[in-house]
Structure 1
Amino acid sequence: MPDTTLDEALADLAALEDPRMRAANEARGDDHGINLSRMRALAKRIKADQPLARELWATGETSARLLALLICRPREFDADELDRMLRETRVPKVNDWFVNYVAKKTPLAEELRLRWFDDADPTVAAAAWSLTTERVVKSPDGLDLDRLLDLIERDMKDAPGRLQWAMNETLAQIGIHDAALRPRAVRIGEELQVLADYPTPPGCTSPFAPIWIAEIVRRREG
């Protein structure tokens, strides 16, 4: 089967556009009208295609960028290219997919984590904290967890939303995975009260760190 062209991919995306879906997505800050399951099916049909992914990204369109993130090969981007892409991911779903499907999958993840950690742009810093959470869970050796808790205790309460959420994830995962630091992580969460009132559907775990930590530890040790 011939490779999909940019015009063909854009036409496929346009065919999936649903005005009702757009209205629902725009209420969450995502300016596209495509059911994501249908977009994933389109990506599966196209298969991995790095040149097309770059062309889709360059359009600047949210739906095209989401498709690009599904069909790209993360290891084929260099660090500067990934840095530029991150700084363009203002739409929530594009940012979420970029961090989880590309930044966390590239062999450059640790280099980027260090590069982005102290960035003045909270969207960029949030990505660094997400990569830090990944290390806390999968490869904590070499991380200064006490210093991370110091930074969380100092900065999380007043951090912008996306950055605050990412720091809170790191706090919770430190508490879950490091028994020695668990009491401190819980205390920080209780003192800061970040996301304490977050509406949590029945059957879901609250993102409030003390509750999150307690529930996951209970499941593991139960």
Structure 2
Amino acid sequence: MSRRPKPSGEDWSLDRVLDTLTALGSEKNRAGMARFGIDTSRAFGVPMAELRPLARRIGKQESLADELWASGYHEARLLAILIIPPVNLTDARALHWLSEIRSWDHSDQLTNVLARREGSDALIAPLAANEKEFLRRAAFALIAWRAVHAKKSPDTEFLSYLPLIRTAASDPRNFVWKAVHWALRQIGKRSSSLHGPALKLAEELFEDQNKTVKRVGREAFRELNSDKVRQRLSISKD
């Protein structure tokens, strides 16, 4: 079996990447993106199934990532997130990119990368306090991703996010409340010791009179109280 050549980015200019995205895009995919609430005003219509292999072909490149982000094209920015060397995704660069985000998938992809980096938890509180929709979403997406990827972080880190979740649960904006219950669900599934506090909060939110708070609690309670989650964590129902 022949081995694949190692990715080499020296031949990939911004123009070449944009030409490739143009060729890969389609109106059908653009329409599909729009149905999922993605801003397609500057989108080619290229699915992630095409972007990930393209990113591997390009390889990690800091300068090209910055050029792709600055272009403003939707898929170019997704590629920027995929090809930025993790060591170069500093807090300053991450916050700059997050401040320019106009779609939830950019927020989720960027926080997925951030969550794998030690120290990214320091960004959560200031992002949660920000009034901009996609910045606040980024806070709770980062919590959710850290619950999955930050294997060495103590459970106390995630307990400290429960008050943030309680506060943000009343934010009715679609891309915020969905990230809030996502974060709560991921905390509760991280370990048996976190399951109880997360389930308790979910139940409290479910009983709240505020419509959005109740919805956040209902979505989280439904999953955390499921047999599937309890069996995986070896937790029985009382």
Shorter-chain TM-score above 0.5: yes
CA distance in 1 between counterparts of 2:96 and 2:58 reads 25
For 2:214, the equivalent position in structure 1 comes to: 193
Q: Pick closer, same or farther for the CA change 1:140–1:189 going to 2, 3 Å.
A: farther
Runs of 4+ in 1 over 4 A off after TM superposition: 134-137
Kindly tell me the number of residue pairs found equivalent between the two proteins: 210
Q: 2: CA distance between counterparts of 1:69 and 1:212?
A: 30
1:153 and 1:188 in contact (8 A); partners too: no
Alpha-carbon distance in structure 1 between the residues aligned to 2:108 and 2:34: 16
**C-alpha separation in 2, matches of 1:105 and 1:119:** 22
Query: SS of 1:193's equivalent?
Result: helix
Partner of residue 152 from structure 1, selected from 148, 165, 169: 165
Q: State the alpha-carbon separation in 1 of the partners of residues 72 and 34 from structure 2.
A: 17
CA distance in 2, matches of 1:128, 1:40: 24
2:175 to 158, 162, 172: 162
Does residue 12 of structure 1 match 2:36? no
Instruction: Report how far residue 154 of structure 1 moved.
Output: 4.4
Aligned to 2:134: 123
The answer on 1:26 being equivalent to 2:37 is no
Q: Does 1:43 align with 2:59?
A: no
Report if the CA contact (8 A) 2:147-2:186 is conserved.
yes
Change (3 A) 1:20 1:153: same
In 1: Cα distance, 2:230 partner to 2:23 partner: 46
In terms of mean alpha carbon deviation, does 78-87 or 121-130 score higher? 121-130
**Percent of pairs identical after alignment?**
28
State which drifts further: 36-45 or 57-66.
Answer: 36-45
Q: Which residue of 1 aligns with 2:224?
A: 213
CA 1:106–1:174 in 2, change beyond 3 Å: closer, same or farther? closer
Q: Which residue of 2 aligns with 1:143?
A: 157
Structure 1 pair 81/126, CA: closer, same or farther in 2 (3 Å)?
same
Structure 1: where are the runs of 5+ without partners?
197-206
**Hey, what's the Cα distance between the residues in 2 that align with 1:90 and 1:15?**
24
CA root-mean-square deviation: 2.6
| Aligned-pair CA distance for 1:168 | 1.1
- Give the drift of 1:179: 4.3
Call closer, same or farther: CA 1:119–1:140 in 2, change over 3 Å: farther
Structure 2 distance, partners of 1:29, 1:182, is 28
Consecutive unaligned residues of structure 2, counting only runs of 5 or more, are: 1-7, 208-212
